[in-house]
Amino acid sequence: MLGSYARRDWVDEPERGYLSDFELLAIVNQEKLTDVADIWWSARTGFGATAAIGYCQHHRP
């Protein structure tokens, strides 16, 4: 985990319209695990249908 939850300074103020987001870093050892369509879109269901999830990939051959 990265960001505000890792630093323990997250914000939880729904009455003011602000909630901290979660930032997760997944390190994989197989190139096939970087396929967004096959792997990561299905993982989204574990976070809930309304979760805003973005992806940043880096692959070093």
In order of 11, 38, 42, 50, the CA distances from 53 in angstroms are: 18, 15, 12, 9
Other Cβ atoms less than 10 A from the Cβ of 21: the count is 13
Domain assignments of the chain as residue spans, ordered by start: 3-47
Sequence-distant (6+) residues with CB within 8 A of 33 are: 39
For 1-18, how does the pLDDT look when each residue is reduced to its tens digit (9 = 90+)? 778 888 889 898 889 988
Q: How far apart are CA 61 and CA 14, in angstroms?
A: 43
pLDDT of 48: 63
Q: How far apart are CA 39 and CA 16, in angstroms?
A: 35
pLDDT at 21 over 60: yes
Rounded to two decimals, the pTM is 0.49
